[in-house]
Amino acid sequence: MAAEASENVKEITLQKSWNKLYHNSTVPEKPAEEDDQNEEFVTVLVQLAKDTLEFKDCDEGNINERLCKKPGRYLNNLPPTAVIICFHNEAWSVLLRTVHSVLDRSPRELIQEIILVDDYSDMPHLKTQLVDYWRYEPKVKVVRAQKREGLIRARLLGARHAEAPVLTYLDSHCECTTGWLEPLLDRIARNSSTVVCPVIDVIDDTTLEYHWRDSGGVNVGGFDWNLQFNWHAIPEREKKKHKNSAEPVWSPTMAGGLFSIDRKFFERLGTYDSGFDIWGGENLELSFKTWMCGGTLEIVPCSHVGHIFRKRSPYKWRSGVNVLRRNSVRLSEVWLDDYAKYYYQRIGNDKGDYGDVSERKALRERLHCESFKWYLDNIYPELFIPGEAVASGEIRNMGYGGKTCLDSPSRKVDLHKPVGLYPCHRQGGHQIATIEHDMCIDSPCKPDDLHKPVGLWPCHGQGGNQYWMLSKTGEIRRDDACLDYSGQDVILYPCHGSKGNQYWEYDAETNLLRHGSSDKCLGINDSRTKLIMERCNQEMYHQRWLLENYDPEKL
């Protein structure tokens, strides 16, 4: 298989052998009309022409071949699956790479159908050209949404057109590896209430190079109290249950883009909440109710699927509506019980209009699902519970008018960076307040804002970046990120539980925050733009702090 690419990226010709290999389908001699909104198209097609037209098996040397491909490891009569791939204005080459990898690297008898759900794309190459390309492949169906539905409703549309007993969802920018499917279907064949996810490898969004993740480095899903998904190392309690790294591991949550589920079990769980808009929160909802309503959620190390993590989403949000918040509030109202308050504190208790959730609550009642406390105790005991905090909310500086708050994002990309002071906004999130300025530690969290000192802004009282917790063990933390001081800037660092640079003592009488290992106190500089550490002096108001909801009885 080969391709000839001229220096001009617009003049790419695919040889006839490409057409012959893929069922005599018609491939255009040059890309369809370019679209400024899909600038990746030409770049990706050029790279595909250069490197990946043969769809070679990627380097699988890191997977434990002996364990994952041991004869008899998987049941003989595995159920077939429908592979549902939703897309909106996807690059031609990327979409083809996804579908061909499914066809070429799966036992044909296990693929009952591949359903391509077009979520109202407007690019020419995804119209007649797409249908013509697959005309000789009976397993591929193209389903069109009549209006823009968003990922969640597009997936439900695909499920309605599927006939197979198992549904497998993939994003439209993936590459399946040889042997990816059997391990997933085997787990469902053994227990139809098991929801399974492959290990997600990374495909470089520029070079399209496939980066294989060693099975020994598999992570499991979690979440924080902003109801955002995150990855974690496999807990020791889970590792002790397994003989080797090839065995499936329990995961509290899933990323949500790539998974397989028994159709009847999915329907029994109520599929997705149809009140969710576009995307966001659906992965946590499915994760919670899987565990709480009698199922199991697993990561399967023997199954690997590559994924291109795009820098921007193709979805356009409706103006005037915070879709992610609306979805998260619906999720909280139905599944989080009394723990919903910890999310609401992060958003300043502003729930907004989240619609009617009575049917979803009735579903949970019919299924006799466990409580969210049961989920936290049994499935995710590692999660820090804000209710156990000695203080939670703003940390307000008492100097300069008392309007300055600690504020900083706490995503993994924000760790190892200085914590800042911003106006207190009373919306939770990342802030703790100081007394003098009515200012809070605050920081934007766009990529361009990283690697810069965090500043001071007025406290707003709305949570967000101004929401902090003081733990019983002396950590000032937000989720898994802690304030850390090692002699230079005060930064956010992964909480390690060993005190040291992350140990703080709060004196409610003097309002001083003393750093344990340095014996210095936290303050703000004269320009009210930066946290500083200096010799403790309770007469200095810029060192005095008010911690919201401080309760010494919890110590």
Which CATH number covers residue 523? 2.80.10.50
Show the tokens assigned to 188: 């469902």
Distances (CA, A) of 295 to 288, 289, 347, 415: 10, 8, 31, 34
Place of tokens 């469902």: 188
Q: Is residue 167 part of a domain?
A: no
For 48, the token pair is 């595909």
Predicted pLDDT of residue 394:
86
504 in a domain, yes or no?
A: yes
Note the pLDDT tens digit of each residue in 114-162.
999 999 999 999 999 999 999 999 999 999 999 999 999 999 999 999 9
Provide mean pLDDT across the span 29-45. 42
- DSSP secondary structure code for residue 182 in this structure: H
With 90 as the cut, is the pLDDT of residue 196 above it? Answer: yes
pLDDT one-digit tens code per residue, 323-376: 899 999 999 999 999 999 999 988 889 999 999 999 999 999 999 999 999 999
Range of the domain at 19: 3-52
Is 500 strand, coil or helix?
A: helix
Share of the chain above pLDDT 70, in %: 76
Could you say which of 21, 37, 52 is where a domain stops? 52
Share of the chain above pLDDT 90, in %: 59
What pLDDT does 403 receive? Answer: 64
* Residue 524 belongs to a domain: yes
For residues 159 and 178, give the distance between their C-alpha atoms in angstroms, rounded to a whole number. Answer: 25
Mean per-residue pLDDT for 99-110?
98
Write out pLDDT tens, residues 388-436.
Answer: 899 988 888 888 766 677 777 655 555 555 666 555 655 555 565 555 4
pLDDT score of 550 more than 70: yes
In a domain, 359, yes or no: no
Least confident stretch, 60-74, 96-110, 144-158, 308-322: 308-322
Q: Is the pLDDT of residue 6 over 60?
A: no
Q: pLDDT at residue 7 above 50?
A: no
Which pLDDT belongs to residue 315? 56
Task: Indicate the pLDDT class of residue 479, thresholds 50, 70 and 90.
Answer: confident
What does the alpha-carbon distance between residue 157 and residue 275 come to, in Å, rounded to a whole number? 14
**What single letter denotes the amino acid at residue 237?**
R
Q: What is the distance between the alpha carbons of residues 312 and 148, in angstroms, rounded to a whole number?
A: 18
Residue 488: its pLDDT value, please? 87
| Number of structural domains in the chain | 2
In a domain, 273, yes or no: no
Q: Is the pLDDT of residue 193 over 60?
A: yes
Q: Confirm whether 436 is domain-assigned.
A: yes
Q: Which of 138, 165, 158, 162 is nearest to 77 (CA)?
A: 165
Q: How confident is the model at residue 213 (pLDDT cuts 50, 70, 90)?
A: confident
Q: What pLDDT is recorded for position 420?
A: 60
Question: From CA 111, how far away is CA 338, in angstroms rounded?
Answer: 43
Strands 455-457 and 174-176: unpaired
Establish if 357 belongs to a structural domain: no
Higher-confidence position of 41 and 407: 407
Length of the chain: 555
Residue 527 confidence (pLDDT):
80
Question: Average model confidence (pLDDT) for the chain?
Answer: 83
Q: Report if residue 311 sits inside a domain.
A: no
Averaged pLDDT, 520-532: 87
pLDDT value for 116? 99
Residue with tokens 């008899």: 72
